[in-house]
Amino acid sequence: MFTGIITDMGEVRQVEQRGDMRARIGTAYDMGRVDMGASIACDGVCLTVVDKGADWFEVDISAETVSKTNLDGWAPGRRVNLERALKVGDELGGHIVSGHVDGLAEVVELHEEGDSTRVTLRAPAGLEKYIAPKGSVALNGTSLTVNEVKGREFGINFIPHTKEVTTWGEVKLGDRVNLEIDTLARYVARLQEVMAG
C-alpha cells in the first residue's frame, strides 16, 4: 500500500524487452536500505525490485501492466514519480493507494492560475462514476483532490510545491496519465449497486 505522497523523482535509465519489459530507474533512495523484492510505486504502478545498485533499481513489467498503463512510453531520460511502500506507523499524508491502475486519463486542458496550474483530464468511460468533487484520485501515483467533475472530465489544481517535487511540473496537453480511483469510492459504488439490485 502507498499514500500517493511522492518521495523521489527517478529517471528511466534503460528499457529492454525480454519476456517482459525490464526497466532500470535511477533514484536518490538509499538502495542499501531497500530489500530485493520490495515494492516501489513508479508513476503509480506497484512494481517489484528485481535488481539494484547504489543509485538504481530494476523492475520487470508484464505485458498486461504495459497494456493498461502509460509505461509503454517509458524511454531513457523520462522522469518518474516514485514512492516506497507504506510501513506501519508511517504518516498517511495522502490517501490509501494500492498501486493498481484502473485506466488511462488524458490531459485535455491546462492553464495557469496564479502560481498554480489548473489541469482538466478525461477519465476512461465507466470510471467517471467513481470520481467526485473534493474526492481523491491518484494520478501517476500522486494523491490529488478533485476540484470539479463534468461528465468524464475532472479538474485538478497543481500548486507550486507539487510541480517542483513531482513530474507534474512537466505536464502537457495529450499526456496519458495512470489513474487509480479512490478505493473507498469503488466500495461505496459497489455497495449501492448491490443494494439497488
Cα distance from N-terminal residue to C-terminal residue, the chain: 31
Give residue 147's pLDDT. Answer: 96
Residue 58 has pLDDT above 90, yes or no: yes
* Length in residues, the chain: 197
Give residue 69's pLDDT. Answer: 97
C-alpha–C-alpha distance, residues 111 and 86, integer Å: 33
pLDDT band at 93 (very low <50, low <70, confident <90, very high): confident
Give residue 106's pLDDT. Answer: 98
- Tracing cell 486542458 back to the chain, one arrives at 109
Pairing of strands 56-61, 45-52: antiparallel
Give residue 183's pLDDT. Answer: 79
169-189 per-position pLDDT tens digit: 999 999 999 999 987 777 777
Give residue 176's pLDDT. Answer: 98
Residue 141 has pLDDT above 80, yes or no: yes
In three-state secondary structure terms, 2 is: strand
33-54 per-position pLDDT tens digit: 999 999 999 999 999 999 999 9
Q: Residue 102 in contact with residue 96, Cβ under 8 Å?
A: no
160-171 per-position pLDDT tens digit: 999 999 999 999
Residues 6+ apart with CB under 8 A from 56: 13, 24, 25, 26, 27, 31
C-alpha–C-alpha distance, residues 176 and 65, integer Å: 15
Q: Which three cell numbers stand for residue 166?
A: 513531482
Buried b (16+ CB within 10 A) or exposed e, 6-33: bbbbbbbbebeeeeebbbbbbbebebee
User: For 115-129, what is the mean pLDDT?
Assistant: 96
Q: Which three cell numbers stand for residue 159?
A: 500548486
pLDDT band at 18 (very low <50, low <70, confident <90, very high): confident
User: For 125-140, what is the mean pLDDT?
Assistant: 94
Give residue 95's pLDDT. Answer: 82
C-alpha–C-alpha distance, residues 166 and 150, integer Å: 26
- The domains found in the chain, sorted by start residue, are 8-84 (2.40.30.20), 103-196 (2.40.30.20)
C-alpha–C-alpha distance, residues 4 and 84, integer Å: 10
